[in-house]
Structure 1
Amino acid sequence: MKKTRALTLSLAAIASVVVVEGAAGLLTNSLALISDALHALFDVIATLTLLVATRMSLKPPDETHTYGHGKIESIGGFLGGLLLSALGVDIVWSAFSRLAEGEHNVTPELVGFLAIFYTLAIDGLRISVLHTSLKGEESATVKADLFHALSDLSSTLVALAGYASASLNIFIGDTLAALTLCVLIFYLSLKMVYRTSLDLSDAVPKSIFNRVKASIQTHPNIKHFDNLRMRRVGDKIFVDVDITIPQELSVKEADLIASDLQKKIQDTIGKSEVSVKLKPSPQQPTLIDRIYHVAGKVDGVRGVHKVVLTDVGSAQHLTLHVEVDLNLPTDRAHEIAEEVERRLIEEVSGIGSVTVHIEPAQERIKAYEIDDKDMAESIKEIVKANRFVKKVEDVKMYGDDKRMYVDIRCVLKDNLTVEEAHAVATEIERKIVEKYQRLDVTLHIETESDSK
């Protein structure tokens, strides 16, 4: 594959840097060159890990590696990070010893500069090869190695500065360059140890867990979920979850929900494998639930509300409001209404007749706020005049080119039934509209106990 060839070439190139720069560092006694060679060694381990991970990822799971072979990458990265940290400690010890003793013993020679310029050329070659391989083929491993190559380029420039200062008899520059590079080595190696230790312990970042959780919770057809389990294997995250769905769904509908959830999670967290276990809700759907479900499945239906069942002799008559796209032609809306009626009679037992009221689905309104204190106070007085209202908490008014809207929050006395509270709200809305004809009223009611 294109990306494995790029990684192999990158590995060979950076390995040659370790040999050339390491040998030059030992010959000239330059800690800057030795540190940069050590940093290159870090990239050898990192690139080798990425290469192994890329090749192993091509192998399918087997009987002994049911989740694939991605953990090999984590093991290699963990051990490599520990090794580099230990080597970094040795370099730091040598650097501080030189600073304390005031003896640097660097013997700048042409071979050192040749090694550095060779390294710069290799860094440039790696960046070019890796960048080219990314064109037309996205690869997280190649992209990671490209970032390593860019960091190598910067570290080599630091080594060049330190070695050049030593050639000008500013020997402390070589030691300071070595310490600077060791800071980078410690950061990268400890970061690798931390990340791979999380992978080996099957830990995933809390942010990723919360994003997956939110994807499940916001799915409209999932009533409940549990047993959410996640683990990272290589560059892939495995997700297992049990979800509870309505009983009335068909097998095909349930499968569509599972597929939709899988795609939603994969879009959220990237490369992943999602396993969804479906469980029917233990609650039996009511007749009204069934009506909403059947009507909502009809193509073109945007919403269902105001469902009313009336006993007429031995049969039941059903009326409901169905929302459709407001730009639909009337004949198409009529076809939708007839289809809703037909399906309800066929699929919901006991219904003798159905009347569907078609209305346009409400679109998002672009409105402006209305700051009319006199009008707001007048509306408050209308609401407070009702004997069941304890207090008015808020009145918000806004409008567009066609209508004005008012949202009212008020507190009613306790011990009212839903039917009684609805009657109160309807009466208040009627009186407000009588006074302000072009007003669309929404009344939110609470009881005294709710508002405490």
Structure 2
Amino acid sequence: MAHAGHDHSNLKETVAFRSILVSAFITIAKAIGGVLTGSLALISDALHSLLDVVFTTITWLAIRKAHQPADADHQFGHGKIESVAALIETVFLLLLAGIIGIEGVKRLSTGSGEVIPHWFAIAILFAAIGLDAWRWFTLKRVAKATNSEALEADALHFASDLVNSVMVLAALVGVWLGFKQADAVAALIVAAFIAVSGIRLAIRTINTLIDTAPAGISELIQRTVEDIPGVAVVENVRARPAGGDVFAEVNVLVSRTLPLDKVVKVKDNITEAIQKVVPNVDLTVIANPAQLDDETMFERVMLISAKQRLPLHNVIIQNIDGKLSVSCDLEVDGRLSLGAAHMLATKLETAIRNEFGEDTEVDTHIEPLNPKPLSVCDLRSKENEKIALCLKEMAQSIGLIEDIHSVRARTSDAGLVVNYHCYVDASENVTTVHKCVDQLERMFRSQHPDVIRVVGHAEPKRKA
């Protein structure tokens, strides 16, 4: 993107500078022709070309300034410099149209201003028509490719120059054929064309300066964002032009249960999708959390605990004659005092009541959590085998758990930790499986009081 922007900048500067040289040549030639013939239309056209030299120089300087990076005083960049340059050109165009129009009316009413056709003037006009056609085509193409208002304004000027030169040529031919007022009439047509072009450019430039949204951009962005997974609602889309770029801001709602990394991913997807349909966009995406209609009570409780960075498990939600009851196991640093742990539990309970209502019954069971990994070492092979055999015998009495394997018993300063895998019929529900695994843990711990944790991993039983 940065490389493409740099290429566009160089292209616009090169085209604008070449246009300055061509405008200067045409201006001098038309001025000479105007003096030789005394044609108001040709003199007006020369003045118009002189303004083009000024305008194109302003455009060239504006483009160089517009592509400077943002700074402390211009935090959104310098893109609107191009719009300011276009507005200055518009003012001069309207003034020129007025001056030419007044002189044309004066010549028509008084019959003054003798015009003498000259071969040099006609030759210059043919050359100017060819050069203006080439400049108009080149500038229009580059302006469209780079979305440059200043170059678009220049292209408009050279389109008017092309028409002007054709009208002046027609006026000289008319005078040569004996229609003496042809020059004044042509001058008035030139003035009208310049005025119309200036008004059209003024409307576009003013719309840019007052941040009028580019036609269709907001709707295009909204349709694009609505199809992004994770976006619940597109709240607002705002867009404004700035030179060749578009600044846009998108506000969306996402589920408040989404973790932060998922929210960042959604925003990245939005940016990537919009840049495909609006390549020159400078985008700001704002994602606000919202409670969605399909959010479960369990998700709401877990969201509250996540915000307070308090681990919960074994969350049970009950509805007792219309009254809500929430119970859960709260894990806190085992080194905390009971008073400090109770304050954390009270804070959590208050947040849950604020979410579901003050009459909500909330009970928390405080459990110690070791914030640091335990330092453990594996038991000797024979001792590990004894534990594995004990687990297998107990599992047979329960009945559902089969083929206990991958038994790993490890000692630590806090006590013994036992991990194992087993198989259970894949059609059994999780609740039933969990009860059986818990029962096996209680049976094992009743015979091994030094055990602090038994972790049983149930897998679907392999098909025969």
Deviation at 1:274, TM superposition (A): 0.8
Unpaired runs of 5+ residues, structure 1, are 291-349, 355-452
Contact 1:239 1:273 (C-alpha < 8 Å) held by counterparts:
yes
Equivalent in the alignment of 1:168? 177
Deviation at 1:239, TM superposition (A): 0.9
1:64-79 to 2 correspondence within 5 Å? 64-79=73-88
Equivalent in the alignment of 1:202? 211
Return the alpha-carbon distance in structure 1 between the equivalents of residues 93 and 32 of structure 2: 18
Per-residue CA deviation, residues 112-134 of structure 1 (Å, 9 max, x unaligned), is 22432342353366468769x96
Deviation at 1:252, TM superposition (A): 3.7
Deviation at 1:37, TM superposition (A): 2.8
1:328-407 to 2 correspondence within 5 Å? 352=431
Aligned-partner SS, 1:253 = helix
Say yes or no: does 1:7 pair with 2:16. yes
Aligned-partner SS, 1:155 = helix
Return the alpha-carbon distance in structure 2 between the equivalents of residues 91 and 282 of structure 1: 66
Contact 2:231 2:252 (C-alpha < 8 Å) held by counterparts:
yes
Question: In the superposition, relative to structure 1, how do residues 114 and 220 fare at CA in structure 2: closer, same or farther (>3 Å)?
Answer: same
Return the alpha-carbon distance in structure 2 between the equivalents of residues 38 and 214 of structure 1: 49
1:86 to 92, 95, 107: 95
Contact 1:244 1:279 (C-alpha < 8 Å) held by counterparts:
yes
Say yes or no: does 1:139 pair with 2:146. yes
Contact 2:62 2:82 (C-alpha < 8 Å) held by counterparts:
yes
Identity between Structure 1 and Structure 2 (%)? 26
Contact 2:12 2:151 (C-alpha < 8 Å) held by counterparts:
no
Question: In the superposition, relative to structure 1, how do residues 52 and 288 fare at CA in structure 2: closer, same or farther (>3 Å)?
Answer: farther
Contact 2:212 2:241 (C-alpha < 8 Å) held by counterparts:
yes
Per-residue CA deviation, residues 339-395 of structure 1 (Å, 9 max, x unaligned), is xxxxxxxxxxx96599xxxxxxxxxxxxxxxxxxxxxxxxxxxxxxxxxxxxxxxxx
Aligned-partner SS, 1:89 = helix
1:9-408 to 2 correspondence within 5 Å? 9-41=18-50, 43-44=52-53, 46-123=55-132, 126=135, 138-141=145-148, 144=152, 145=154, 149-205=158-214, 207-217=216-226, 219=228, 221-226=230-235, 228-283=237-292, 286-287=295-296, 352=431
For residue 139 of structure 1, what is the amino acid of its counterpart? T
Question: In the superposition, relative to structure 1, how do residues 286 and 157 fare at CA in structure 2: closer, same or farther (>3 Å)?
Answer: same
Per-residue CA deviation, residues 212-238 of structure 1 (Å, 9 max, x unaligned), is 344444545322344543322112111
Return the alpha-carbon distance in structure 2 between the equivalents of residues 59 and 123 of structure 1: 30
TM-score, normalization by structure 2:
0.55
- Report how many aligned residue pairs link the two structures: 293
TM-score, normalization by structure 1:
0.56
Contact 2:63 2:82 (C-alpha < 8 Å) held by counterparts:
no
Question: In the superposition, relative to structure 1, how do residues 188 and 260 fare at CA in structure 2: closer, same or farther (>3 Å)?
Answer: farther
Contact 2:213 2:240 (C-alpha < 8 Å) held by counterparts:
yes
Deviation at 1:289, TM superposition (A): 11
Of the two, which has the highest radius of gyration?
Answer: 2
Report which stretch shifted further, 251-260 or 82-91.
Answer: 251-260
Question: In the superposition, relative to structure 1, how do residues 280 and 189 fare at CA in structure 2: closer, same or farther (>3 Å)?
Answer: same
Return the alpha-carbon distance in structure 1 between the equivalents of residues 293 and 222 of structure 2: 26
Deviation at 1:87, TM superposition (A): 1.5
Return the alpha-carbon distance in structure 2 between the equivalents of residues 160 and 56 of structure 1: 38
Question: In the superposition, relative to structure 1, how do residues 128 and 211 fare at CA in structure 2: closer, same or farther (>3 Å)?
Answer: closer
Aligned-partner SS, 1:237 = strand
Question: In the superposition, relative to structure 1, how do residues 54 and 351 fare at CA in structure 2: closer, same or farther (>3 Å)?
Answer: farther
Aligned-partner SS, 2:169 = helix
Per-residue CA deviation, residues 249-306 of structure 1 (Å, 9 max, x unaligned), is 343432332233234434444522110012221448524998xxxxxxxxxxxxxxxx
Aligned-partner SS, 2:114 = coil
Aligned-partner SS, 2:249 = strand
